[in-house]
Structure 1
Amino acid sequence: MRFFTAALATETNTFSPICIDRRAFEASLYAPPGKHPATPTLCSAPVTVGRRLAREHGFELIEGTATWADPAGLINRETYEGLRDEILDQLRAALPVDGVVLGLHGAMVADGYDDPEGDFLTRVREIVGPDVLVCAELDPHSHLTRKRLDAADFFVAFKEFPHTDFVDRAIDLWQIALDTVEGRVVPRMSVFDCRMIDVFPTSREPMRSFVDRMMDMESADPDILSLSVIHGFMAGDVPEMGTRVIAVTNGKAEKGAAIARDLGMELFSLRGTFMMPQLNEREAVDEALKTAEGPVVIADVWDNPGGGTAGDSTVLLEEVLARGVTGAAFGTIWDPIAVQICMAAGEGAEIPLRFGAKSAPGTGNPVDARVTVVKLLRNAEMRFGESYAPFGDAAHIRFAGIDVILNSTRAQSFDPSLFEVMGIDPRPQRLLVIKSTNHFHSSFSKIASKIIYCAAGTPYPNNPAKTPYRKARRTIWPMVENPHAEKDVVA
């Protein structure tokens, strides 16, 4: 057997002012054929899992380029087309193959392309023909378009949010692919359109039980090969934005359609109950200061670089400074220029510095302070599950009794190692202020005395009923109350 694998992924917040070019991919992950590191970077898990399975099962694996850019705004057209064509040329050179196993995100948008993954998969299908297996792993915060469904045999999406299971789902993807090529199964993909858009953290109810039940169904029913929820990505202004359920069955398309519909309608019945309650910046600091033991984690959920924002909001920092709170550590505030200034000054220097709030309205005001440069680190990384996430050249500064990490590569706060590599012990801190919606939860919950979710400022379009979409359909909840009054859409 011969398989081709590659990865091309990012998540596009079409409202973000931060555009992506090739340098953004190179800063996060750009691995030419055979050069991917041993650990995966979220959407590149099919490459590393494929390597292991190729050794164990004795098939030939041809690796293409694997590349990932941290979420931001629109992708430069030349960048997308260049990376796409690079991988397609590698696929042509690899022919003949029995299967193509890809790592994609699913929420990519490029200049001139509302659906880059659909374009990419269609071209893959044209190259390999109708009889070669084509499949991909997706992030659930993606868009599931008709074009993608027509081009691929099946998709498997991460089940967990935070995405702690991206390696496990890549294993699922490969197992179905191997079983298909060896003739043990015939995958049929059924999809139900929930006609809604919501946020579905699996670290709390009701989504926790929903995902557990999906996994139980997969284990108990041999007809079910995989079940996935495509959450959708509300900051992606594209025509097919929204939540969908995928059921992959062993040749039982009608059964899969019924399962997908039942699960989808259950999600719809629970709409509006999934997201964790959020406080504003004043309420969040009030609540944190009531807690005697630390560290209290305040998650700045809507200035999350993992959702494509800049990650440079100072709204919570300004609130903490105004209160005179000490013993707080902030990780991170994105400001490459401030990092350069700190690098030039050197460790131990005391300098005047202006930083933060440069990207967009609704992110607070730049902070002016006389700071001490405590620690500098080139090419800093933090842990994220079995992988590492880069946050670029970074500076740890201290002033007014608080510590702030400035970074040059945008990255959300995945793990307490973010603080540790910059010389900050997170455990004795009174407050840890981080930028993430929920990916932080798995690791930070192990050290936090309390977790507070905070909606500070307006860096992210988080209310679909009021978001000024230009392309997204307005016929889903919460734009309309009961979109299922019309005929169900089942693919």
Structure 2
Amino acid sequence: MEKHNIPEIAIAGLGIEASTFSPARTDAAAFHPHRGDEVFDLYPFMSPGSPLREAAHWHPALVGKALPGGIVTREGFEELTAEMVQRLEAMPHLDGLWFDIHGAMTVEGLDDAESVLLSRIRDCVGPDTLISTSMDLHGNVSQRFAHMIDLITCYRMAPHEDAMDTKERAARNLVERLESGKGRPIKAWIPVPVLLPGEKTSTRIEPAKSLYAQVPLVEQQEGILDAGIWIGYAWADEPRNHAAIVVTGDDERTVCEQAERLASSFWSVHDSFQFVAPTGTLEECVDKGLSSQVSPYFISDSGDNPTAGGAGDVTWTLQRLLNDPRIIDGDKTTLYASIPGPQAVETALHAGVGATVTVTAGAEVDSIHEGPVTFTGTVHSIHEGDVDALVEVVIKVGNLYVIVTELRKPYHHESDFTALGLSPREAGMVFVKIGYLEPELFEMARDWIMALTPGGVDQDLLRLGHHRISHPMYPFDQGDFTPDLHARIIPPSNEGDTVHGDE
């Protein structure tokens, strides 16, 4: 390709965190696929007339993003993959492809699903097309995957306040690489035998804060294009589930040195990661919330966090709150977000605001830890038209306000509550199915604790039952061991034999 030619670049990708420890399943519709020009709506930096939009001829194929959840059905994966490839086949010759994914998708009957998808894309677009990948730092980078990509980058913040910056960086790096005419960069990949939940690796606190602060400094080195630290996804059980370092650039010595420096820095603090907030049993957390002199006091119902892959309908915590007279009859207002219950929502809709109803909700998907919960209360409010929940109702049981949804929904914003006639800033306690608090909730909370509750994304990894991950692996193997942290130079995707596994 001539340097001054405008590159032809496709856009494609599927993204989800899928917990293998949740009984839920994710189908094709859950990805809300965008097709053709509607893909641009996902990326503000790709608006008409923007510099990046004008820098290439962009050919959006299909991009789908699902709420974290259970394993993707094979049928759903095949349906979306086939359509994506079909759309790519209809495109002109491509100089590049931007592959926008999460990196923690598990599919029924497949290992390393993103590599399977990428292999099919590579077969379609050919060996000469440069592929640039943007990922969540909680995704997984197997050696096979690293072999097939050319440029790769991931988030550098958790919570992911830099998500859109990362996607823009991946697209910009691809355009600049194509314009330079330099071809494929050198890639150094290092597996790090650590598998930890995001709630222990938040960049808000040490050691992740200082560890991730090194990434942009590496990127600024002469001969380096990009660098990334992947924590990996802790709630799936595949050989690829572990942390990883990838550095790309044109100077092999520098690429290797910097990758090994990041890997060494990571391993030097591997046993120093702590939860981002105080933790306790549910009983301990409720005691602290009730005795707290500040409000709102947020409590994370962490084991069923839908934005980490939990089913979102575990009733274990809610059942205990409903049975606690200090919550129901006490003088503190308590909000609980949330529990799916389509039939409960229908009952509340039919009865209307102000009516007294008896409803049953939850445990339609994940009944491993507790069955459905039945309770009687007053319909406080009804809200229809939410993009995730569809319909939400609030049922008041004494001083406990329970949000019941038609479909599961994460509650990350103040408006999620105020749209339901609730005032979280004035509440005594706010229970949210989440791990670390997202930025708006974090700002709102006067104090905060994580309840180590059961569910498909249990923070206690050792009681989940991983049996397919590689060993030794921290924290599953506590004995002293010295990992091999030398840089593996991954050949370009159009050279050498295909690399399989995580050798």
**Cα RMSD (Å) of the superposition?**
2.3
Q: 1:236 Cα shift?
A: 0.9
**TM-score after normalising by structure 1:** 0.89
Could you tell me whether the CA contact under 8 Å between 1:54 and 1:61 is conserved in 2?
no
* Residue of structure 1 in register with 2:71 after alignment: 74
Superposition pairs of residues 92-491 of structure 1, within 5 angstroms:
92-183=89-180, 187-199=185-197, 200-218=201-219, 220-249=220-249, 251-276=250-275, 277-321=278-322, 322-325=324-327, 326-361=332-367, 363-381=369-387, 390-438=388-436, 440-481=437-478, 484-485=481-482, 487-488=484-485, 490-491=487-488
**Structure 1 pair 96/458, CA: closer, same or farther in 2 (3 Å)?**
closer
Give the SS at the match of 1:267: helix
Could you tell me whether the CA contact under 8 Å between 2:313 and 2:365 is conserved in 1?
yes
* Residue of structure 1 in register with 2:10 after alignment: 4
**Structure 1 pair 182/271, CA: closer, same or farther in 2 (3 Å)?**
same
Could you tell me whether the CA contact under 8 Å between 1:162 and 1:441 is conserved in 2?
yes
State the AA in 1 paired with 2:258.
Answer: I
Tell me the alpha carbon deviations over residues 111-145 of structure 1, each in whole angstroms, 9 at most, x when there is no partner.
22112210111122222222211111111112211
Q: 1:183 Cα shift?
A: 1.0
CA distance in 2, matches of 1:58, 1:478: 46
Sequence identity, in percent? 23
Q: 1:448 Cα shift?
A: 1.1
Tell me the alpha carbon deviations over residues 347-385 of structure 1, each in whole angstroms, 9 at most, x when there is no partner.
33321112234443564454322222222223315xxxx
CA distance in 2, matches of 1:50, 1:2: 17
For structure 1, which segment, 183-192 or 194-203, has the greater mean C-alpha deviation from structure 2 after superposition?
183-192
Could you tell me whether the CA contact under 8 Å between 1:49 and 1:167 is conserved in 2?
no
**Structure 1 pair 316/464, CA: closer, same or farther in 2 (3 Å)?**
closer
Q: How many residues align?
A: 471
Could you tell me whether the CA contact under 8 Å between 1:416 and 1:443 is conserved in 2?
yes
State the AA in 1 paired with 2:36.
Answer: P
**TM-score after normalising by structure 2:** 0.87
**Structure 1 pair 272/413, CA: closer, same or farther in 2 (3 Å)?**
farther
Q: 1:272 Cα shift?
A: 3.7
Q: 1:58 Cα shift?
A: 4.2
Give the SS at the match of 2:476: coil
Could you tell me whether the CA contact under 8 Å between 2:67 and 2:307 is conserved in 1?
yes
**Structure 1 pair 243/380, CA: closer, same or farther in 2 (3 Å)?**
same
Q: 1:18 Cα shift?
A: 0.6
Q: 1:7 Cα shift?
A: 2.5
CA distance in 2, matches of 1:290, 1:78: 50
State the AA in 2 paired with 1:371.
Answer: G
Could you tell me whether the CA contact under 8 Å between 1:396 and 1:403 is conserved in 2?
yes
Q: 1:173 Cα shift?
A: 0.7
Q: 1:467 Cα shift?
A: 3.5
CA distance in 1, matches of 2:27, 2:172: 34
Tell me the alpha carbon deviations over residues 417-469 of structure 1, each in whole angstroms, 9 at most, x when there is no partner.
2111222121111111101112x331112111101111123443434444322
- Runs (4 or more) in structure 1 with deviation over 6 Å come to none
Tell me the alpha carbon deviations over residues 175-214 of structure 1, each in whole angstroms, 9 at most, x when there is no partner.
2101110016653321211111113111222212222232
* Residue of structure 2 in register with 1:387 after alignment: none
Could you tell me whether the CA contact under 8 Å between 2:156 and 2:212 is conserved in 1?
yes
Could you tell me whether the CA contact under 8 Å between 1:284 and 1:452 is conserved in 2?
yes
CA distance in 1, matches of 2:359, 2:350: 12
CA distance in 2, matches of 1:253, 1:379: 53
Tell me the alpha carbon deviations over residues 129-169 of structure 1, each in whole angstroms, 9 at most, x when there is no partner.
22211111111112211221121102111111111111000
Give the SS at the match of 1:102: strand
CA distance in 2, matches of 1:167, 1:378: 29
Q: 1:407 Cα shift?
A: 1.9
CA distance in 1, matches of 2:306, 2:106: 16
Q: 1:395 Cα shift?
A: 1.4
Tell which structure's C-alpha radius of gyration is larger.
2
Give the SS at the match of 1:275: coil
